Amino acid sequence: MSIFVNQDTLLVVQGITGRDGSFHTRQMIAYGTRVVAGVTPGKGGQSFDGTVPIFHTVAEAIRKTGANTSVIYVPPALAAGAIAEAADAGIRLIVCITEGIPVLDLARVIPFVREKGARLLGPNCPGLITPGVAKVGIIPGPICAPGRVGLVSRSGTLTYEVVNHLTRNGIGQSTCVGIGGDPLIGTGFIDVLRGFQDDPTTDAIVMLGEIGGTDEQHAAEFVRQCVRKPVVGFIAGRTAPKGRRMGHAGAIISGSSGTAEEKIHALEAAGIAVMKRPVDVVELVRQQGVASRR
Amino acid sequence: MNLHEYQARTLLRAAGIPMLDGDVAASPEEVEAIARRLGGPVVVKAQVHAGGRGKAGGVKLAEDPAAARRHAAAILGMTIKGLVVQKVLVVPAAEIAGESYVGLLMDRESQRPVFMVSAAGGVDIEEVAATTPEKIERLAVDPRYGLFPHQALGLALALYRDFARARAAATILGQLYQAFTANGASLAEINPLVTTPTGELLALDAKIVVDDNELDPRPDLAALRDESAEAPSEVAARRAGLTFIKLDGDVGCVVNGAGLAMATMDLVKYYGGEPANFLDIGGSSNPEKVVNALRIITADPGVKAILFNIFGGITRTDDVANGIVAAMAEFQVSVPVVIRLTGTNEDQAFRILQNVGMTALSDMDAAVKQAVALAKGGKAA
């Protein structure tokens, strides 16, 4: 089972005819995701690979196909507009892969999405996957396996590294969710942790954080108060210098706040088992007694 | 991207914020001429991207143009926190009756621009925030509507009891908000906002940080970048589409993805080594990026071993392997190279490397251990 995406996910791809959009659409279809529509303004009426109908707008795509989830692969200058369009048209889950969206654009569009009652995942995220069922975004399917560990992460390839260790050691995942590395994101750790806590098919949770901001500290507090399932954590950036943006716009230590030490301390104080290395995930998850239960 | 004070002044002044006339210069002669034109005592201020300029001797009061010239000669070329001072700002010395702090920053928690103002100005605001947070007044602005006049006035009244002064400050807050949004800032700060003996408000120091994501669509902002104020290797990396941060260690790291790049540095440290850099080649698979990455890393004489850590997702590992082979052919790499590749097209990648007599590992820990050992002059494990 899963959170956020499942067999009822009907996906519309915004920017389906672009280089990234077309490549990942094929990957998602091959994985089994129900891609029902694409949107590229100006190419309405055409079809993608002869199988997926393309529309000018998301609203049209919903009317004709019943799409309930969207994934966005449009350039940064157009991405905030694409997010707003999806929310306005009635999409429930909007997954934005695009990196490099100006933060002021996000500050304007995020409250709009909330008022429409939609959920935004990202931007600048790898998306999410419910192994064996559906993937929305760019997480490679072959490294995942169905199972009962929920994973939430701020990064892309670090997620792959950790998921790969789990899968190779026979520990499957319920859903893997990449929330993105930007300072302003639509869905935070807490939203996903709440989802896993409420999901009867998730037995344990892995959360991968990094330096910058206070999301992990708040998430730790949420775990202490509200999560009754074992949580294993990791914080990247112990060796990061202060005041430098470590690739992700959000990964920056300002002053004395947002350091790895501070976050690791917060996680441990909340009873979260903290990995020192990515490979430690296997041992720590096994200690929670979930490995044998597929 | 951090702007210099003189650049921030220009942007804030264009928004109407009151400040004293001033000018920027790169030589003592120019400084003397500016001081003469301004008349009276001036302040000569180093323009570097570092805090604590005053403490480092980079800010000096000069009574006359000759003194300004002498101070400029001392400050230009001075090193502050590793950065060489190339330019100084010359402004008239203001008479100060009071100082406030006014700042606006993009706040991650409220996901809005947040004003922070304090009647305790001219000091390190982070310190005020940490020790006496009650001295800071905050206001989150909904960026869909902007700053309403009553919000600006309410904030200003927290700074000034005198209504006329508060009204003037409210105008300045509105102008600061305009400058913030018009220039895609993630931080805009006036510290201090001074009250003169005659009761006027003046912005004495200005700071603006521009959101890096605004630079592509805004060439006017990108043009404000001062590459002479950055490490040459970081400038070269940015031009090649790479994110690179120089560190002091000896294990050069080439990784795809920021999170994995940080985790790789951490693992180098875990196994007893020191990372020489952060380098993210990003999500694309262009072999040229790998060539550029190797060029930048091998240019650092401190690097004793190079570690590739590539987890193929969108990035195809065979493309990275081709890039490594091309780079090795293009220039002499005199230090050992350890390659870890896994994920998309890894079989082809291993074959490409084998064809030129190179080997790769698929395990991150094994690769990091080997790179650390080689950097220390040991043999591969």
DSSP of B224-255: T--GGGS-HHHHHHHHTT-EEEE-SSSEEEEE
Q: Do A246 and B266 touch (CB under 8 A)?
A: no
Give the helix ranges, DSSP H, for chain A. 19-31, 58-65, 76-89, 103-115, 157-168, 189-198, 215-226, 260-269, 280-287
- Per-residue pLDDT, averaged over A81-93, amounts to 98
pLDDT class of B228 with cuts at 50, 70, 90: confident
Chain B positions touching A213 (Cβ under 8 A) are: 108-109
Q: Provide the mean pLDDT of chain A.
A: 94
The answer to whether residue B266 neighbours chain A at the CB level (below 8 Å) is: yes
Please give, rounded to a whole number of angstroms, the shortest distance from the CA of B211 to a CA of chain A.
7
pLDDT of residue B129: 77
Chain B positions touching A159 (Cβ under 8 A) are: 259
Is the pLDDT at B308 greater than 90? The verdict is: yes
- The tokens describing B338, both together, are 């350890």
Q: Do A108 and B144 touch (CB under 8 A)?
A: yes
- The tokens describing B54, both together, are 């005053």
pLDDT in tens, B125-164: 777 777 888 889 999 999 999 999 999 999 999 999 999 9
Lowest mean pLDDT segment, chosen from A207-221, B223-237, B346-360: B223-237
3 state SS of B172: helix
Q: How far is A132 from A175, CA to CA, in rounded Å?
A: 10
Q: Do B313 and A160 touch (CB under 8 A)?
A: yes
Using CB atoms and an 8 Å cut-off, which of residues 297-356 of chain B contact chain A?
311-315, 342-344
Is the pLDDT at A292 greater than 60? The verdict is: no
Using CB atoms and an 8 Å cut-off, which of residues 216-255 of chain B contact chain A?
216-217, 243, 245, 247, 255
Q: Give the C-alpha distances (Å, rounded to integers) separating A30 from A27, A96, B340.
A: 5, 20, 28
Between chain A and chain B, the number of residue pairs with CB atoms below 8 A apart is: 163
pLDDT of residue B381: 46
DSSP state of A257: B
Q: What are phi and psi of B251, to 5 degrees?
A: -100, 105
pLDDT of residue A6: 95
pLDDT of residue A68: 98
Q: What are phi and psi of A205, to 5 degrees?
A: -130, 140
pLDDT of residue B315: 82
The answer to whether residue A211 neighbours chain B at the CB level (below 8 Å) is: yes
Complex prediction ipTM? 0.93
Q: What are phi and psi of B175, to 5 degrees?
A: -70, -35
Chain A positions touching B261 (Cβ under 8 A) are: 246-247
Using CB atoms and an 8 Å cut-off, which of residues 6-35 of chain B contact chain A?
none
pLDDT class of B185 with cuts at 50, 70, 90: very high
Q: Comparing C-alpha atoms, which of B263, B236, B231 is closest to residue B247?
A: B231
pLDDT in tens, A97-123: 999 999 999 999 999 999 999 999 999
Lowest mean pLDDT segment, chosen from A240-244, B8-12, B22-26, B120-124: B120-124
Q: What are phi and psi of A18, to 5 degrees?
A: -75, 175
pLDDT in tens, B27-80: 999 999 999 999 999 999 999 987 778 888 999 999 999 999 999 999 999 998
**What phi-psi label fits residue B40: left (phi over 0), alpha (psi between -120 and 50 degrees) or beta?**
left
Q: Which long-range contacts (CB under 8 A, 24 or more apart) does B133-138 make?
A: B138/B114
- Considering only the beta carbons, identify the residue of A138, A156, A244 that sits closest to B245: A244
- Considering only the beta carbons, identify the residue of B258, B343, B344 that sits closest to A248: B258
Chain A positions touching B257 (Cβ under 8 A) are: 155-158, 247
- Per-residue pLDDT, averaged over A151-179, amounts to 96
- Per-residue pLDDT, averaged over A247-269, amounts to 87
Q: 0.95 exceeded by the pTM?
A: no
Higher per-residue pLDDT: B169 or B122: B169
- Considering only the beta carbons, identify the residue of A158, A277, A278 that sits closest to B257: A158
Q: Do B365 and A255 touch (CB under 8 A)?
A: no
Closest chain A residue by Cα to residue B316: A140
Closest chain A residue by Cα to residue B278: A246
pLDDT of residue B379: 55
Neighbours of A290 (CB within 10 A): 21
- Considering only the beta carbons, identify the residue of A106, A156, A244 that sits closest to B313: A156
Q: Provide the mean pLDDT of chain B.
A: 92
pLDDT of residue A56: 98
Q: Which residues of B are catalytic?
A: 101, 189
Active site residue A248: yes
Q: How far is B302 from A206, CA to CA, in rounded Å?
A: 37
Is the pLDDT at B241 greater than 90? The verdict is: no
pLDDT of residue B378: 64
pLDDT of residue B284: 66
- Per-residue pLDDT, averaged over B323-334, amounts to 87
Is the pLDDT at A139 greater than 90? The verdict is: yes
Q: Do A277 and B267 touch (CB under 8 A)?
A: yes
Please give, rounded to a whole number of angstroms, the shortest distance from the CA of A64 to a CA of chain B.
31
- Considering only the beta carbons, identify the residue of A100, A160, A248 that sits closest to B343: A160
pLDDT class of B285 with cuts at 50, 70, 90: low
Closest chain A residue by Cα to residue B140: A107
Q: Do B259 and A156 touch (CB under 8 A)?
A: yes
The answer to whether residue B278 neighbours chain A at the CB level (below 8 Å) is: yes
- Per-residue pLDDT, averaged over B209-226, amounts to 93
- Considering only the beta carbons, identify the residue of B142, B258, B268 that sits closest to A181: B258
- Considering only the beta carbons, identify the residue of B212, B261, B364 that sits closest to A249: B212
B282 neighbors B242 (Cβ within 8 angstroms): yes
The answer to whether residue B192 neighbours chain A at the CB level (below 8 Å) is: no
pLDDT of residue B51: 75
Chain A positions touching B109 (Cβ under 8 A) are: 213-214
Q: Do A76 and B313 touch (CB under 8 A)?
A: no
Is the pLDDT at A206 greater than 90? The verdict is: yes
The answer to whether residue A103 neighbours chain B at the CB level (below 8 Å) is: yes
Q: Do A140 and B312 touch (CB under 8 A)?
A: yes
pLDDT class of B282 with cuts at 50, 70, 90: confident
* Mutation for testing the A interface, residue in B186, B207, B266 having most A CBs under 10 Å: B266
- Per-residue pLDDT, averaged over B177-185, amounts to 97
